[in-house]
């Protein structure tokens, strides 16, 4: 039977939206010239009456600069892939490898090209059959350790000089090599699983996977079993077969990514999310509506950013016939943080689940083994993102909260009122943990301190708003389930 949402869910949804709008207004009031570093902001678009634009999100600004400098290569990629489709479709891995090597040389230089080649070759060769999987994981952790060493202790002041590149290119190399660790591990472990056939597991297949330009810098880092579908779908692609139809589909997807990029850029003129979080003294005493609204906006801007990053890669991947995952879920409707891990960065979750969690436990494993498997998964998340204190705190709180979330789900029926009542207490620290990741440990500490030490009245207010948030997410889930059931009935 189709489950009908309770009236309480609609009331909670209305209250949730009202709370958001008011908190947005409080952040708009803060976004003015009184903020520290205000006059260092970008001058902004003249159509907004010369309001400055918050350009303190280095990741976003770097991506915009990369598109401005190297965006033409996306068009070249389309031309190369279409020619390969018509002339040498069976040799697509060779085409992608050559094209990728040429692009790296043109965008950077020979030393950078050598770093990327050495990384791929080091994974592909030197793997004894008897200890194949152990060797691959040893190489994975060695490369992560090497990347973290240069990232944390030996980064801007020396490495860019040795490689003869500027700081922006060094950041790009750090991102590329980090993504490639996941890709190399996925390729090699899949190769071990499919040992009898070994089809599409040559060196040129691996390099094509690593050098595929639309996913090269900002991801998503899809597992190799997804990328390998290009060999079956390149001639009979999943998209409409005619070139004009496929180009129109690609254009619509890129226009959607461009729309969200404009939303991001326009929003930065009115809500100085990244600038406000620089003023720790302000966060210590600012109105709680503004404080928690700022936290929500941090998450929402982060979400939009990755919808753009991944949306571009997914659009080109599907155009080329790759079985790409869906774009990140909107975090404004996620009420269980296990769903955040599953449906935000779906590619990273697929890697973690396929190669770490399910290798350490199964559905029938004992509870302690499952807990240790989840701990190992979050430990990998920590070291892969970088061995920084704020990453450690973020990972640890997320791990603990997901364990408590599972406990709540196990002890309360899905339609019980007790699930949101208890689950909201777990939901709050799950959300707070992200402020360590979005900003810094200092900002995260302020949120924890003001949430749990400023009196029961303040916590109850936050709890009521979070309860409405939780129930709104439940309402969306029910509506999506009903829609899926109706679609199946129509078929």
The mean per-residue pLDDT over the stretch 73-98 comes to 91
The mean per-residue pLDDT over the stretch 328-347 comes to 89
Least confident range of 221-230, 231-240, 362-371 = 231-240
The mean per-residue pLDDT over the stretch 7-18 comes to 88
Rg of the chain on CA atoms, in Å: 24
- Span 217-229, pLDDT tens digits: 888 999 999 999 9
The band of 97, judged by pLDDT with boundaries at 50, 70 and 90, is very high
Residue 335: predicted pLDDT = 86
The mean per-residue pLDDT over the stretch 409-416 comes to 85
Would you say 189 and 355 are in contact if contact means Cβ atoms under 8 Å apart?
Answer: yes
Token duo for residue 297: 């906006």
Kindly tell me if the per-residue pLDDT of 475 is higher than 50. Answer: yes
Q: Read out DSSP for 152-204?
A: HTSIIIIIHHHHT--HHHHHHHHHHHHHHHHHHHHHHHHHHHTTTT-TT-SHH
The alpha carbon dihedral of 83, 88, 89, 94 has a sign of: negative
Q: Read out DSSP for 317-380?
A: HHHTT--PPPPPPPGGG--SHHHHHHHSSHHHHHHHIIIIIHHH--TTS-HHHHHHHHHHHHHH
Give me the chain's average pLDDT, please.
Answer: 90
Kindly tell me if the per-residue pLDDT of 478 is higher than 90. Answer: no
Distance of alpha carbon 30 from the chain centroid:
28
- Span 423-453, pLDDT tens digits: 999 999 999 999 999 988 999 999 999 999 9
List 42's β-bridge partners, or say none. 53
Kindly tell me if the per-residue pLDDT of 156 is higher than 70. Answer: no
pTM summary value: 0.92
The mean per-residue pLDDT over the stretch 207-211 comes to 96
Kindly tell me if the per-residue pLDDT of 6 is higher than 80. Answer: no
- 78 SS3 class: helix
Residue 164: predicted pLDDT = 87
Q: Which residue has the higher pLDDT, 253 or 239?
A: 253
- Span 99-125, pLDDT tens digits: 999 999 999 999 999 999 999 999 999
Residue 398: predicted pLDDT = 94
The mean per-residue pLDDT over the stretch 63-84 comes to 92
The mean per-residue pLDDT over the stretch 306-328 comes to 94
Residue 211: predicted pLDDT = 95
- Span 370-403, pLDDT tens digits: 999 999 999 999 999 988 999 999 999 999 999 9
Residues 310 and 342: their CA atoms lie apart, in Å, by: 15
List 53's β-bridge partners, or say none. 42
Domain boundaries, the chain: 12-41+262-301+325-490, 58-239
The band of 235, judged by pLDDT with boundaries at 50, 70 and 90, is low
Least confident range of 74-78, 153-157, 307-311 = 153-157
Residue 25: predicted pLDDT = 95
Residue 90: predicted pLDDT = 86
The band of 85, judged by pLDDT with boundaries at 50, 70 and 90, is confident
Residue 1: predicted pLDDT = 35
Residue 2: predicted pLDDT = 46
Residue 462: predicted pLDDT = 92
């Amino acid at each position: 039977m189709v489950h009908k949402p309770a009236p309480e869910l609609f009331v909670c949804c209305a209250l949730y939206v009202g709370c958001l709008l008011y908190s947005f207004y409080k952040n708009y009031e803060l976004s003015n010239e009184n903020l520290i570093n205000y006059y260092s902001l970008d001058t902004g678009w003249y159509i907004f009456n010369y309001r400055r634009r918050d350009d303190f999100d280095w990741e976003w600004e770097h991506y915009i600069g990369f598109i401005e400098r190297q965006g033409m290569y996306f068009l070249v990629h389309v031309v190369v892939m279409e020619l390969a489709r018509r002339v040498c479709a069976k040799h697509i891995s060779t085409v992608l490898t050559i094209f990728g090597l040429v692009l790296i040389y043109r965008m950077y230089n020979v030393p950078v090209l050598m770093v990327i080649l050495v990384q791929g070759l080091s994974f592909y060769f030197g793997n004894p059959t008897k200890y194949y999987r152990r060797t691959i994981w040893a190489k994975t952790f060695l490369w992560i350790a090497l990347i973290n060493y240069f990232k944390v202790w030996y980064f801007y002041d020396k490495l860019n000089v040795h490689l003869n590149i500027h700081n922006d290119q060094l950041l790009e190399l750090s991102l590329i090599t980090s993504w490639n660790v996941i890709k190399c591990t996925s390729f090699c472990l899949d190769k071990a699983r499919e040992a009898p056939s070994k089809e599409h597991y040559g060196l040129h297949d691996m390099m094509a996977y690593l050098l595929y330009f639309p996913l090269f810098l900002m991801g998503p880092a899809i597992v190799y079993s997804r990328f390998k579908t290009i060999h079956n779908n390149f001639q009979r692609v999943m998209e409409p077969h005619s070139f004009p139809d496929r180009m129109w589909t690609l254009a619509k997807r890129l226009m959607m990514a461009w729309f969200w990029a404009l939303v991001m850029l326009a929003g930065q003129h009115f809500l100085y999310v990244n600038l406000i979080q620089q003023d720790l003294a302000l966060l210590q005493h600012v109105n709680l509506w503004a404080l928690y609204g700022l936290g929500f906006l941090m998450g929402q801007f982060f979400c939009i950013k990755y919808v753009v990053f991944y949306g571009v890669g997914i659009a080109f991947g599907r155009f080329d016939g790759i079985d790409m995952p869906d774009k990140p879920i909107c975090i404004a409707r996620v009420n269980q943080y296990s769903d955040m891990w599953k449906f935000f960065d779906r590619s990273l979750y697929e890697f973690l689940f396929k190669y770490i969690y399910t290798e350490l436990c199964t559905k029938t494993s004992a509870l302690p083994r499952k807990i240790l498997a989840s701990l190992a998964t979050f430990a990998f998340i920590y070291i892969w993102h970088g061995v920084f204190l704020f990453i450690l705190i973020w990972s640890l709180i997320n791990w603990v909260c997901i364990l408590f979330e599972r406990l709540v789900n196990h002890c309360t029926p899905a339609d019980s009122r007790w699930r949101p009542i208890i689950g909201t207490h777990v939901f709050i620290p799950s959300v707070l943990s992200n402020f360590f990741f979005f900003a810094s440990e200092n900002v995260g500490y302020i949120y924890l301190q003001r949430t749990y030490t400023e009196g029961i009245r303040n916590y109850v207010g936050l709890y009521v708003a979070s309860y409405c948030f939780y129930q709104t997410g439940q309402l969306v889930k029910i509506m999506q389930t009903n829609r899926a059931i109706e679609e199946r009935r129509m078929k």
